[in-house]
Structures are given as C-alpha cells and as structure tokens.
Structure 1
Amino acid sequence: MKQNSLKSLFVFLLFGINLFAQAFTVDSKDGRNQAQFISDAPFEKIVGLSSGLDATVMINPNDITNNTNGKIKVAINNIKTGIDLRDEHLRSEMWLNAEKFPNAEFQLTGIKNASSNKLTDGKKVNATLVGKFSVHGITKDIEVQANLTYYKESEKTKARIAGNLLIANAEFDIKLSDYGIQIPSMVVSKLNEVVKISTNFVASDANTGMNPCAVCGTKKSEYKSNPCAVKSSEKKANPCNPCAPKK
C-alpha cells in the first residue's frame, strides 16, 4: 500500500502541474481582436489591419514557461490598408497569394525569459514567445516579444467576455524575402523589405468546448500538443485517461 501511495505521489508531481493548464480561445468573429502590419518606406507608409484573428493558447497561469503552446491565425483576405485597389494587389498571386495561402500563422511552442513565471490577476508579464511563423507557404523559427495579462472572471471582465481572460500583445519584424515575397522594382520605394507585425487579442477560457486533457486537439495526429497524451499501449498509466478524447 505504501509503495502504491509513493507511486501516486510521483505521478502527481510529474503530471500535476499540466493538469492546471487552461485553454484560452479567441473568437475570430470578435472584430476587436486584431493583427496589424506596418511597412514604412521612403515614399509611403502602409498600415494594414486584419480583424480576422483566431487563436487557441494552452497555458498554466501558475507556470507559463511549462509546456505552453497554441496557434494564432490571421486571415489574409481580411487585411485592409484603406485603399481597395492596394488590398487587391496585396492579396494577389504576385504578393501574398491569399487564394493559395489564406492565412498567416504563428505556432506557439513555448515561453522563455518571462519577467514572472506566474500570471497574477491584473499584473502584466513580459516574455519571449518561441515558435514558428508561416506566411506565403514558408515557415520560419522566430522569437516574439510579448506582454501577457491574466484577469480572473469578475463583473467587470464579464462586460467584455465571460470567463477568465488572457490579454496578449506581441510585436515582431519579418523580412519579406525570407518568406518568398519579392518587391517589384516599380514600387520598391513604396514598400519596405522589413515589415513590422503586431497582434493584440483578448482570449477566454469559457465555453472552449475542449477536452481539458487535450485542449490543443483530440485527433491522434495532434497528441504531440497534449501534455497528458501517451501511446495507446500506455493508457492505463495515463493520469489524464479519465478525460481522454471522446470517440
């Protein structure tokens, strides 16, 4: 009996911290969540906005550096620069080719250099987000500077959206040529090779409709992002098996 108790304690210490991870999601229909890009060239400054932002982030507020992961997706077709013709050119095959590559995506794989490993109600935390950024069919490893603020649900927060909230603001630069995007010579003075990208969104852990043991996916192909997932032959030893993906 004592041996079984020690084994249970070991399993809890090994997996317990992940059991408190929360899935925060962003509704792409909420136009207040946005991504912005800025191209500041010698003869023209272009600012583009997209409200078609969708995100899912799995994070443990008690230790954000432990197995945080997720995905942030922005619809290219929703980018608006204030000039319809310019927007058409931006989405065209010559530029971002939105028909073939409809989204820009950031796959979050971890957090490091956090000013605090713990998210405290209402306190901003600065951190480096580690992951992969994909646009125009090309994916690159990147690190993004961001600040995160966690708010426990209250009457005040419910005025915005139900649930505990995670507010994220991030900013980074990309070089267009790194992603196979070439600037035509006729507009080289109107478009900067380096584009600044920023995102800001409010995510909630309410009504995610997700399995708390597989918040980033329930398909077998997505188990890698599930901290509780194990091989089928090992399910009996999985402390998260009671909430395993539904058949």
Structure 2
Amino acid sequence: MKNTCLFMLFILLSCSVNAQQILICNNAKASFFSSTVMEDIEGKSAAGGSVIDTKSGNIIFKVKNTSFQFKKKLMQEHFNENYMESDKYPVSEFKGTIKGPVNMDVDGTYKVSIEGNLNIHGISKAYKTQADLVVGKGMLNANAVFKVKIADHGIEIPTLVFKNIAEYVEVRIQATYLPKK
C-alpha cells in the first residue's frame, strides 16, 4: 500500500512537471509592414496560436491569413485573394527551435536565437532570427522581428502595383504564453 501511494504521488508530480514544460498562447499578435515611396501597407492579426515545449525548445506558431486586418478594406481583399491566395493557403506557419538557455524558474529577460522553417503561401524557407523572451509571474512573453522576402515564398506582385509593395516586409511577433492546463 505504501509503495502504491508513493507511485501515485510520483505520477502526479511528473504530470505537473510535464504540464509546466508546455506553454500555450491562443491570441498571439502577428503583423507585417511594407514601406515604399508610394505607400505603406500594414496587416495585423491578434489570432495567432503558438506552443512552446520548454524542455526541447521546440516552437510552433500558426496564423490564419484571413485574420489579418488592414486600414483599407481593398488592401485586405487584395492580400487574401491576389497575393496570399488564402482559399488555397489558409495558414502561415513557423516550426522551429529556440536556441539558448531559458530558465522558466528564474524571472528575467533572455535573448535567444530561433531557427526553423517558415511556410507562407505553400513555400517553406529556413529562417533564423533573434527574440526577446521575458519570464515573469509564471508567464513567458516573446517578441521577435524579422524580414521576409516575399518573392522567396512565391508571392507574385503585378507590375501595375510593383512600386507600392516592398521587396521585403518586416514581420513582428508578440505572444504571451501560459502553462498548459
């Protein structure tokens, strides 16, 4: 009986530890910004989903392309219909690994490298960027900024509007992760 109780306690403790290693964010913010002499274009979404396994450093981030909002309705239509082809490619996704030590038990700011593959418009490309991870009050806040060359993902810009859209767009990610319950 004593061994059975100890075994059950061990199982409960290990479940608690495993739950703490998985962090989830259901309302991650993703935005991109394109600036040219002709026009600035910005799309924002607060509907990204992400999971981090703090033990392995694995991270996945997904956002529905139709969740991006623009100041002009016409920009949103062109983004989804002409450039992203959101009916055909509904989700943009990053799968990668956090490189660098992050101690979830010690509050502080950690500068890390993140490496992985970004799949946009059905084309996956390797990326490496820096991120700031802030641990505090049982949460992890993540911020990253990187540039994406739109041609690398097979997104074609018609010559008529070529001067309105930059060759590279700046992508910003902000997410607050909580332990999986």
TM-score category, normalised to shorter length: 0.7 to 0.9
1:108-123 → structure 2 map (5 Å cutoff): 108=96, 110-112=97-99, 114=100, 117-119=102-104, 121-123=106-108
Identity of aligned residues (%): 26
Whole-Å Cα distance in 1 between the matches of residues 25 and 105 of structure 2?
A: 21
1:8-87 aligned within 5 A: 22-27=21-26, 30=27, 33-60=28-55, 67-87=56-76
Tell me the CA shift for residue 111 of structure 1.
2.6
Change (3 A) 1:43 1:55: same
The residue correspondences of 1:111-150 to structure 2 (distance < 5 A) are 111-112=98-99, 114=100, 117-119=102-104, 121-150=106-135
Gaps of 5+ in 2: 1-16
For residues 189 and 95 of structure 1, the distance between their equivalents in structure 2, rounded to whole angstroms, comes to 15
CA contact (8 A) 1:165 1:204 kept: yes
Q: Name the TM-score, length of structure 1 as normaliser.
A: 0.63
Gap change, CA 1:56 and 1:117, over 3 Å in 2: closer
Query: In the alignment, what sits opposite 2:91?
Result: 103
**Counterpart position of 1:175:** 149
Could you give the per-residue CA deviations for residues 64-123 of structure 1, whole angstroms, max 9, x where no partner exists?
A: xxx21021011100111111111011000x310111111111102x233x4x55356431
Structure 1 portions without partners, runs of 5+:
1-17, 61-66, 153-163, 208-247
Alpha-carbon separation, structure 2, partners of 1:44 and 1:197 = 17
More strand by share: 2
One-letter amino acid matched to 1:142: Y
> How many pairs does the alignment contain?
165
SS of alignment partner, residue 189 of structure 1: helix
Q: Are the structure 2 counterparts of residues 107 and 193 from structure 1 closer, same or farther at C-alpha, using a change threshold of 3 Å? A: same
- Aligned partner of 1:6 in structure 2 is none
Query: SS of the counterpart of 1:99?
Result: coil
How many angstroms apart in 2 are the aligned matches of 1:146 and 1:20? 24
Q: Which amino acid aligns with 2:153?
A: Y
Q: Which whole-Å CA distance do the structure 1 matches of 2:65 and 2:59 have between them?
A: 19
TM-score by length of 2: 0.84
Runs (4 or more) in structure 1 with deviation over 6 Å come to 18-21
**Structure of larger gyration radius:** 1
Residue of structure 2 equivalent to 1:191 = 165
Q: Give, in whole Å, the separation in 2 of the partners of 1:166 and 1:72.
A: 15
Deviation by residue 1:40-76 (Cα, 9 ceiling, x = unmatched)? 112111111011110111013xxxxxx2102101110
- Aligned 8 A contact 2:19 2:180 in 1: no
Matches of 2:21 and 2:77, distance apart in 1:
39
Show the counterpart of 2:11. none
